Structure 1
């Protein structure tokens, strides 16, 4: 067992190339599966998404770790994006140490507390930390970031870097709308085709509990959420604003990996956003937490 502090690890800079396509900054590296943009517009979407989930969860996490976090533990945020969750957690729990990793440097460093740090890491290639380094590992929304085999490997890597009795928590979107309009259903099918082209799984969120069980995790809890798009109160209105940013971002992926043309996607997106409130559409999510 290695007991070195995670912060003493030497990180290699992720040498990932980017390109501009339709005004969006995209990864230009076939060894990297992530196919959503990495730019300021995407950062704004992720900020709104973070605000939404603080509202839906009535907090930042569901694992029973409040008292441990108050006393002081070490936490890893995998695929942290800008790092809104990492930063908020570090402010809330000043005695704990937080490390956020992502393949792109879009980190929010302004007013970052001293107990938080960010590093550029492509988690699909493994986690550059010693065994049993963390008490809590958090991961969310990597359905469009990891092929299925990498997703399963990520769970195994998380188990490796977790201490005995450490906790894992994964929040994931399922590419599945309840009561969709015809336009929204069409977009969902296009997204599924685009993900399949990169060996990704639209429904991987429904399989995470099984992955955790296969990896040997214990006390698995699986919570289902259906988030309304444009109706049902403040959360629904906020989620509609997120979808107004998310669907164009996903469109870059769809038009790159399927036969759908830009104009067709844009027109269908307008119809989908206009109809979501009328059809009372919702998106499915799964939050799963467990113990090593």
Structure 2
């Protein structure tokens, strides 16, 4: 699991050009990483900004905090029940890859909590990659029986992932509306940018890393999909392996959603 998170962290860092582009023009006294997971982003930020206090908080203990630094502070708390930090206490609040854990009806509560934690003039950065995968548009029209079967497998995988998440009230596609939600919550200067993460040999080492991450991501869905649908575990695993070759064809990519916003001074 930790290797998958590590791979994702460095892919996103490479594509964005830094851990958090908006941080480069800020004075950072206190930074919060919500849903810190393995703590990789927080650790990287602690190294990059040694004079800043970096807080990493997650509902579960950080997977590996053996490489902690003197300016980093780990915490355990449930975002949905409120985090144990004072109002207006962080210059930068960062959250990534929580769209598969936050229910559609819970997002307004999450947005309000993130707003509470930002200091006036502070900034928010949300980064989300949807758990479903797409086939490159330039191969969809190819007329090949074997290829068509693999494309059908991709569609079936996506359907099963969505069914599994929807049963628990989670709709990752709601990410598309986060910009409007942040504005309604009170944030200003809201931006929604999308970045394509290339997948496959056509994009060199980065593309191969993304293909590897995609495979690990799909494998990680096996227990949940098998438990919540009528699809046998082995059948679903075989479906993933059957689909993987087509996910590397053409100019394939995976879309990353990046939201940035600022809490008004007044």
TM-score w.r.t. the length of structure 2 is 0.88
Q: Does 1:108 align with 2:67?
A: no
CA contact (8 A) 1:62 1:289 kept: no
Name 1:20's counterpart in structure 2.
Answer: none
Question: 1:36-185 to 2 correspondence within 5 Å?
Answer: 42-63=1-22, 65-69=23-27, 72-179=28-135, 181-185=151-155
Out of 257, 262, 266, the position equivalent to 2:233 is 262
Listed as ranges, the matches of 1:189-268 within 5 Å are 189-231=159-201, 232-268=203-239
1:228 offset after TM fit, Å?
A: 2.6
Contact 2:200 2:211 in 1 (8 A): yes
Residue pair 1:60, 1:85 contacting (<8 A) in 2 also: yes
- 1:277 matched residue in structure 2: 248
Confirm or deny that 1:291 pairs with 2:247. Answer: no
- The corresponding residue for 1:188 is 158
Determine helix, strand or coil for the equivalent of 2:249.
helix
Runs of 4+ in 1 over 6 A off after TM superposition: none
Closer/same/farther in 2, CA of residues 176 and 262 from structure 1, 3 Å limit: closer
Contact conserved, 1:228 with 1:283, CA < 8 A, in 2?
Answer: yes
- What are the Cα deviations for residues 145-188 of structure 1, in whole angstroms up to 9, with x where unaligned? 11112222111101011110110000011245343632222111
Q: Distance in 2 between matches of 1:167 and 1:208?
A: 15
Alignment RMSD: 1.6
1:284 and 1:194 map into 2 onto residues whose CA distance is 21
Gaps of 5+ in 2: 137-150
Paired residues of 1:100 and 1:118 also in contact (CA < 8 A): yes
Q: Distance in 1 between matches of 2:252 and 2:171?
A: 21
TM-score (norm 1): 0.80
